[in-house]
Each structure stands twice: as C-alpha cells, then as structure tokens.
C-alpha cells in the first residue's frame, strides 16, 4: 500500500482557538502527523512525497474564489491587525446572502465559519500540500493500485464548498472522490471520523455518481452540528446517495461496528467501483474529543470489514488527536488494511 506525505503539511501551527466561549490550546497540532509518520516508518511503510498537481483539482470541488482567497489571507490580516492578533473571523454574514466584502476582516467572516481554523504563516502551504497528498493518492488508484493512504494534515472533511470549518481548509476526501470519477462511474466515500463529514455532505449532496456515508453522533447535540441528520439523503441527481448513520454518544465498539456494517451494505447496494475512506482515529475511547469507545482491535476490525469490499481504495487521514492510543489505533487500522489488500 503506497503512502504519501509532505513535510510542508507541518507548517500550519495554530496555538489556540475558542470552544464554548473559552480560549484553549488548539487540538490540531503538527505533532499529530509526526506521530503517524513515525509509526508508518516503524511499520515498514515507504512514504513518498506527492507531486504538485496544481489548483485545478481543488477548484473542481471548491469555490474558486474561496481557494484564491487563502494564499494571501494571513499576510493581509497581519498587515491590518498586527502580529499579536489571532487571524479568525469576528464578523459573519449570517444567512448566505449578500456579496463578499473587500476588507480582510469581512472576508474572514465570509469564507470561514468558526474560530477553529485560525490562519498562521504556514497555513496556506500546509493546506495546499495536504490536498496535493490526497490527489497523489487518487492518482495512484487511477494508475491501478489496490490501496493508497494519504497522511493529510490539516484534515479536510469539514471544509465546505466555499468555507473552512472544524480545523479543515480543503476537503481532501471529496477532492479524491471527484478525481476518481475520471475512471470510475460510481465512487463511494465513507467517513469513519467521529464527527459528521459535514463538508463532504455539502459538496456531494447533489452528486449521483458519488455515494456518501458518514458515521457520527446526532448533530442535534454534538459538533459539528447543523448537517448530518438521518433525513438528509441528497437532492436532485443525488437523491438517495447520502446516508447519515447516527451513533449514541458513548456508543460501544460493537455498536460502531454494527453501524459500519450498514454503511458497507449500502455501498455494495450502490455498486461502487472505487472507495474513499475519510479515516479518523477520534472514535478512540481516549481521544481528547472522544464521544464513542473504539479500541485498537476495533480499528483493526473496521479495516478488515472495509477492505472486504474488495474495490480500489484511497484512505485519507482526517481526525485523531493527541490521545495516548493514537499511534496504536493508526497502526492497527493501517497494518490490517495493508495485509488485507496485498
């Protein structure tokens, strides 16, 4: 199984964000990727750098104006607000009517939904190469590989078509799924991160050629809120191609695996020819953002069941934060998936 990662992804270095009204240390740290990288090396995975595929694959799923906003946004913010200020939005348009303003503070509110995606000096470079890592994985699948893994950081599944959200800037998994439609008529994207794949849902909701399934606690009471309800099944050509499978907060490992089986069955029924996995390890019982109770052996079983679909698969890293079992969970899933797809 090929693995892709670029060290430039470590350059996004947020210090803090606001949660429930209080400033706290930011959970999405470069160390996450370093832990996963070191585990991969220790387990004999060969890590390659991605090629530069440019902006076109990113703009194929994101609003081009949003993409073009990001490269200079941090420097423009610093020029306006100074180096001590946190580059987050403090003004929001509410319901999306109106027009993008030209002032940087207004633009932050237009293109960014919350405080969890503060811009730092290295954010653009990290997000760009995170997306390129994902695209390289799609290219490997298009070239005939059975499985490939993108160690993406920052993650992507909360990023919507035209805004950042929930630690995410570019929706790497949706970029991969769209890229795979160059060869495959039917692609499935399953999100096993503990949080709703709300950005993927937003991007893919009217797509009939990409089936989207997300496992997560009820968004009525658990972040990222708003999207991911059971009655959201797609619109237009995408009617029936979105599936949100809700978990109880505190769900056991067996509960999670039972819901996963429902997602796998739906993917088979869809007739998917290729698979993208939004791979989050924050379903772990000891993750800092834990809401359910999966252990290393549970991640291994998830890998076996997903590999059992027996179709070309791109794995795209999402969440999984600095809990004590992060490396063990990643090792369990990825070594099991490698063995099952050799």
Q: How far apart are CA 210 and CA 187, in angstroms?
A: 5
Q: How far apart are CA 205 and CA 266, in angstroms?
A: 16
Task: Please spell the DSSP secondary structure of 219-268, one letter per residue.
Answer: TTTSTT-SS--TT----GGGTT-EEEEEE-TT--HHHHHHHHHHHHHHHH
Q: How far apart are CA 32 and CA 41, in angstroms?
A: 15
Active site residue 92: no
Q: How far apart are CA 90 and CA 297, in angstroms?
A: 43
Q: Are 265 and 271 in contact (CB under 8 A)?
A: no
Burial 133-171 (b: 16+ CB within 10 A, else e): bbbbbbbbbbeebbbbbbbbbbbbbbbbebbbbbbbbbb
Tokens of 76: 């423009």
Identified catalytic residue from 12, 157, 158, 179: 158
Tokens of 106: 């207004």
CA dihedral angle for residue 186, residue 262, residue 306, residue 149, rounded to 10 degrees? 70
List, by residue number, the catalytic residues. Answer: 158
């Amino acid at each position: 199984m090929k693995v892709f990662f670029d060290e430039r992804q470590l350059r996004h270095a947020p210090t803090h964000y606001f949660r429930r009204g209080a400033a706290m240390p930011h959970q999405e740290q470069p160390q996450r990727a370093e832990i996963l990288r070191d585990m991969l090396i220790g387990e004999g995975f060969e890590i390659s750098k991605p090629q530069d595929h440019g902006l076109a694959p990113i703009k194929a799923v994101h609003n081009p104006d949003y993409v073009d906003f990001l490269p200079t946004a941090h420097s423009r913010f610093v020029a306006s607000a100074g180096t001590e200020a946190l580059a987050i939005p403090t003004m929001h348009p509410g319901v999306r009517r109106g027009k993008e303003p030209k002032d940087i503070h207004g633009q932050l509110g237009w293109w960014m939904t919350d405080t969890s995606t503060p811009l730092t000096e290295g954010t653009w470079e990290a997000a760009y190469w995170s997306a390129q890592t994902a695209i390289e994985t799609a290219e490997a699948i298009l070239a005939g590989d059975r499985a490939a893994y993108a160690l993406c950081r920052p993650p992507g599944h909360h990023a919507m078509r035209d805004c950042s959200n929930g630690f995410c800037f570019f929706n790497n998994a949706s970029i991969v799924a769209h890229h795979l439609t160059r060869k495959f008529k039917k692609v499935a994207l399953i999100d096993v991160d503990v949080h709703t794949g709300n950005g993927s849902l937003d991007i893919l909701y009217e797509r009939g050629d990409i089936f989207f399934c997300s496992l997560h606690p009820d968004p009525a009471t658990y972040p990222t809120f708003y999207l991911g309800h059971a009655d959201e099944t797609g619109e237009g050509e995408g009617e029936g191609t979105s599936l949100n499978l809700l978990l109880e907060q505190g769900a056991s490992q067996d509960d999670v695996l039972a819901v996963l089986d429902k997602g796998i069955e739906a993917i088979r029924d869809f007739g998917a020819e290729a698979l993208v996995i939004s791979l989050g390890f924050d379903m772990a019982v000891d993750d800092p953002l834990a809401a359910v109770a999966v252990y290393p052996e549970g991640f291994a079983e998830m890998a076996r069941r997903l590999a059992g679909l027996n179709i070309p698969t791109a794995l795209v890293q999402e969440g999984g934060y600095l809990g004590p079992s992060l490396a063990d969970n990643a090792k369990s899933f990825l070594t099991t998936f490698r063995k099952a797809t050799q």
